[in-house]
Amino acid sequence: MTVGSCRWLSMAAGRLVTRLIYLTAFALLATSIMAQEQAGSPELTEEASKAIDDGLTYLLKTQGKDGSWSSGKFQMASTSLGLMAFMVKGEFPGYGPNAEALDRAKNWLLKQAKSVSDGYLGKSMYEHGLATLALSEMWGMTKGENDDEDIQKALEAAVAVILRSQNVGGGWRYQPSPDAGQDTSVTVMVFIGLASARQAGIMVPDEAIKRLVSYLEGAQDQGSGGFSYAPTGKGVSIACSGGGLYAAQLCGERDSQMVKAAINYVSNLPDGTFASTGHYYYTHYYAIQSMVQSGDEYYAEWYPKIRDALIDKQSKDGAWNGAAGGPVQGTAMSILILGTPHRYIPVYQR
């Protein structure tokens, strides 16, 4: 048996396991919530659960007839985030109470993937990274007869775009070209999609990971431990710090001095950060995941603060407003943050 066939069998077995996991997801969720309450750690409060449900209702109401979600020019990003917002509760295309709506969103995403010859999804590498992430997390979890094959083809093509677009310095920027430059914001968004694909079984060369680590090392401020927007280590950004830390952790650098310094920086941000900060939803989307990866102590300290802050920020219609990408993206990211205790999306697990 060849290495390739072994890998395929392993991936097939993994997809079967994830399908079985889905069938028991809601029972496990109920058990998990009861266990948290009995342990005196009610992370997922009734208010948080209601906020998630109200946010999902908003997304259902704003979904287009073609299955996509649109926030102006960010249709690919909004649709990808919209899909993942439902996944946080264990709902996938073809399964769950909103199976049909998610199936339409999945079909729209695959239609876009089939319409391009180079694998590039969306109008910027921001969108491409999110689309790669959504495809990866859907793979093996949908009901359509040809879904696994179609998603695999789209995912492999999307990963190829990421790999050939990596800058010699290890990062990415807005356009799919190694000559386009690099910045921490785009780099993190792209890499999370790449890391998810790697977890799912898509081949990602170790060299690409090493180059990213080198980029992050150059973007870290040696004084504070935070990360800057550009690979200079100067002008620390809170948003880039949460994202840079999460990316470094997914690279396998958990025990490095770089990660330890970044954890110290992010975990000690002032409480005012939860009420207001630049790029609010983007910042906390990554910050909560970096705290999950840092360990239970950090997560237990961080999650209740952002949970309660987001509940206060939700509008009466279920949306979260103020995100640069529009209310769909703000709502989807808020659901992903609030739903962290569910732990149904592999890339967000520790």
Name which residue leads in pLDDT, 111 or 25.
Answer: 111
Instruction: Identify the bridge partners of residue 95 per DSSP, sorted by sequence position.
Output: 92
CATH classification of the domain holding 250? 1.50.10.20
Domain-located, residue 260:
yes
Domain-located, residue 30:
no
Domain-located, residue 178:
yes
Reduced to 3 states, what is the DSSP secondary structure of residue 223?
Answer: coil
Domain-located, residue 341:
yes
For residue 119, which of 163, 173, 84 has the smallest C-alpha distance?
Answer: 163
pLDDT score of 244 more than 50? yes
For residue 158, which of 176, 183, 144 has the smallest C-alpha distance?
Answer: 176
Q: Are the beta carbons of 253 and 263 closer than 8 angstroms?
A: no
Reduced to 3 states, what is the DSSP secondary structure of residue 58?
Answer: helix
Instruction: Identify the bridge partners of residue 172 per DSSP, sorted by sequence position.
Output: 183
Convert the pLDDT of each residue in 155-204 to its tens digit. Answer: 999 999 999 999 999 999 999 999 999 999 999 999 999 999 999 999 99
pLDDT score of 22 more than 90? no
* Average predicted confidence (pLDDT) for the chain: 89
- pLDDT score for 128: 98
Determine the length of the chain. 350
pLDDT score of 311 more than 80? yes
Confidence of residue 220 (pLDDT cuts 50, 70, 90): very high
Number of DSSP helices (H) and strands (E) in the chain, helices first: 15, 2
pLDDT score of 119 more than 90? yes
- pLDDT score for 298: 95
Task: Domain of residue 159: give its range.
Answer: 45-348
Convert the pLDDT of each residue in 39-59 to its tens digit. Answer: 434 378 999 999 999 999 999
Confidence of residue 38 (pLDDT cuts 50, 70, 90): very low
Separation in Å, CA 171 to CA 118, 185, 320: 20, 10, 30
Confidence of residue 72 (pLDDT cuts 50, 70, 90): low
Average pLDDT over residues 219-231: 95
73: how many CB neighbours lie within 10 A of its CB? 14
Distance, in Å, from the CA atom of 55 to the CA atom of 335, rounded to the nearest integer, reads 7
Structure token pair of residue 234 = 């100067």
pLDDT score of 259 more than 50? yes
Beta strands in the chain (DSSP E): 227-228, 236-237
Domain-located, residue 308:
yes
Q: Are the beta carbons of 245 and 263 closer than 8 angstroms?
A: yes
Q: What DSSP letter does each residue of 108-151 carry, written as one string?
A: HHHHHHHH-SS---SSSHHHHHHHHHHHHHHTT----TTHHHHH
Phi, psi of 202 (to 5 degrees): -75, 135
- pLDDT score for 238: 96
Contacts of 57 (CB under 8 A, 6+ apart): 318
Total tally of structural domains belonging to the chain: 1
Convert the pLDDT of each residue in 122-164 to its tens digit. Answer: 999 999 999 999 999 999 999 999 999 999 999 999 999 999 9
Percent of the chain with pLDDT over 70: 87
Phi, psi of 95 (to 5 degrees): -130, 145
Name which residue leads in pLDDT, 350 or 240.
Answer: 240
Domain-located, residue 9:
no
Beta strands in 136-269 (DSSP E): 227-228, 236-237
Domain-located, residue 68:
yes
Domain-located, residue 204:
yes
Q: CB-hemisphere CA count at 13 Å for 235?
A: 6
User: Which residue has 């409060």 as its token pair?
Assistant: 45
Q: Which helix (H) or strand (E) holds 258?
A: helix 257-267
pLDDT score of 23 more than 60? no
Name which residue leads in pLDDT, 16 or 249.
Answer: 249
- pLDDT score for 59: 98
Percent of the chain with pLDDT over 90: 82
